[in-house]
Structure 1
């Protein structure tokens, strides 16, 4: 079993360090970022705990051939998973290969567990309530009884923490399989609790749809960036509706959110290309920033550093070496 503990001051370095996941993270709130990522990886399971001190939106694809659960450990603000509102009595579920968008509030603390699909399906098939669990798993956000979730959360966290700090626990295949099975059993038992509503249905909200549609447009039309008014016209909704949607879903304004998403795009571009191949000005223009002095000020306000202080690809490789 492989164990790792890392701390980051950049959300993009954090995102690419999450094993198996194809995703991007965008920092929405301004200020220096502090995050931690703790991971356990075995043959049939990957568990990680991430804590991030800024509001972040995650967008990507769940690992193929896996089923993915997430258990919030702390939710200090508005949170949306696949357009559904969630709270402290929720767990999240994604199937392998499924595209997702997750709005993570400032100070979020979460434990995520992915299982090999065949391992999960075999265990599910041995469960008396398999059909009821399958019904629940049609939802990306599953509401479960708070007292039972609190117990499950504590046991999962204890198992994870003990395995993370005690290398001897992961030295044998038998111990590794025991840990995989124990974590899976906790989640299956949680979803078979008699107090769990089997008929729950939570559709994506209109507010979430608007934010996610605007997010995708900002990512796809990076040079000719649509204004907020143009977005309202395309979506055929009022400016007030758009403003309310961003306030409820992301706790910010449309202008700030979309600018932040594009600034994150510039940062990823800078970090993935050598300075000799792409200038800061060219990277900024790819994301619709053409006034470099304004761009530099906005970049520094969001990330706490100037574009020129961002580690480029060759610098990052030299630093790692």
Structure 2
């Protein structure tokens, strides 16, 4: 984690033109950077690539923070503010914002519309909007490039992704689904924040795919072009066998679900249905086992590696960004800790 004040972030990132804005250079790569603020104007400058103005509406000392994970095509953040604020906001013109308020004592309003406990907000980057938040407000956010969002919808979810869905501003997704999304995003930020080193490019790509899957699992009136029930049982079996062969043919590197969906022109939902029906496990579980075996081989051959290897570096190479979960899954599958495999390699 890197803790910054607003003064340590290049001013160029907050110039007058928001079109094509890019996040400021972050010193530690794919890691969580936390910025703290002692007044509303400072807080307004702390989100990368935004143009916004904050007005404090209640008396008292202001305190706020932004924890931000910048990935290749996405930013995930959590913002906290202590006082009632009126915010005039605009995110980059080629992006969409998904704003997910956490449980708060007071309401949040976007352009005068209440964001209920079972809802989240969606805003296009080219649209300026007004957000009014209560004191002690906490909100999670995902900013995703428009092209990446649509490409993922088309190639991985196989969904007809209309502009109508993204123009609703308020999406009612249900309290339980929203809670699951909040838990997932919060855990992601906490895990990346606590990690001993920045995320690798492979792990960062996995995180990005994971967040996109969380958003599409909300199931907001989207029409899929590829439904598992429209395929015959023999077709579903053939898909699993082809995917299995592909994974094994590329077992020297981490393969992710989006790659499989693109390679075999199936939706994530269809792939999961086919695997559960044929192998009794999800494609994620199957891929995890293959990746764990790849990590085990790298740890066991660490003595022959050209560069020094650690458990953290091997886990990152195989796309594991949650180190403690990696250690738990490794021990469950192989009956020993990854550090034991590494130690045995040098005996």
TM-score where L is the length of structure 1: 0.56
Matches within 5 A, 1:232-311: none
1:6 positional shift: 2.3
Question: Which runs of no fewer than 5 residues in structure 1 stay unpaired?
Answer: 195-321
1:83 positional shift: 2.2
Alignment match, 1:65: 94
Q: Which of 123, 144, 148 pairs up with 1:115?
A: 144
Alignment match, 2:160: 130
1:169 positional shift: 5.3
The Cα offsets for residues 140-179 of structure 1, whole Å up to 9 and x where unpaired, read as 1111111121112111211122112215351x11111111
Label 1:143 to 1:113 Cα distance change in 2 as closer, same or farther (>3 A): same
- After superposition, the CA RMSD in angstroms is 1.8
Contact 2:31–2:198, Cα closer than 8 Å, also in 1: no
Q: Secondary structure at the match of 1:164?
A: helix
1:54 positional shift: 0.4
Label 1:161 to 1:134 Cα distance change in 2 as closer, same or farther (>3 A): farther
Contact 1:62–1:100, Cα closer than 8 Å, also in 2: no
Tell me how far apart the structure 1 counterparts of residues 207 and 99 of structure 2 sit (CA, whole Å). 17
Greater RCO, 1 or 2 (C-alpha within 8 Å, sep 6+): 1
Contact 1:129–1:192, Cα closer than 8 Å, also in 2: no
Contact 1:169–1:175, Cα closer than 8 Å, also in 2: no
Alignment match, 2:114: 85
Tell me how far apart the structure 2 counterparts of residues 53 and 59 of structure 1 sit (CA, whole Å). 17
Tell me how far apart the structure 2 counterparts of residues 165 and 130 of structure 1 sit (CA, whole Å). 38
Alignment match, 2:134: 105
Tell me how far apart the structure 1 counterparts of residues 197 and 206 of structure 2 sit (CA, whole Å). 14
Report which of the two structures shows the higher radius of gyration computed on alpha carbons: 2
Q: Which of 158, 166, 188 pairs up with 2:216?
A: 188
Residue 139 of structure 1 pairs with residue 168 of structure 2: yes
Tell me how far apart the structure 2 counterparts of residues 134 and 188 of structure 1 sit (CA, whole Å). 15
Contact 1:81–1:102, Cα closer than 8 Å, also in 2: yes
Contact 1:73–1:111, Cα closer than 8 Å, also in 2: yes
TM-score where L is the length of structure 2: 0.52
The Cα offsets for residues 244-266 of structure 1, whole Å up to 9 and x where unpaired, read as xxxxxxxxxxxxxxxxxxxxxxx
Alignment match, 1:179: 207
Tell me how far apart the structure 2 counterparts of residues 129 and 118 of structure 1 sit (CA, whole Å). 14
Q: Which of 52, 63, 71 pairs up with 1:42?
A: 71
Label 1:95 to 1:167 Cα distance change in 2 as closer, same or farther (>3 A): farther
Tell me how far apart the structure 2 counterparts of residues 3 and 86 of structure 1 sit (CA, whole Å). 27
Label 1:45 to 1:67 Cα distance change in 2 as closer, same or farther (>3 A): same
1:96 positional shift: 1.7
1:29 positional shift: 0.6
**Pairs aligned (count):** 192
Contact 2:31–2:192, Cα closer than 8 Å, also in 1: no
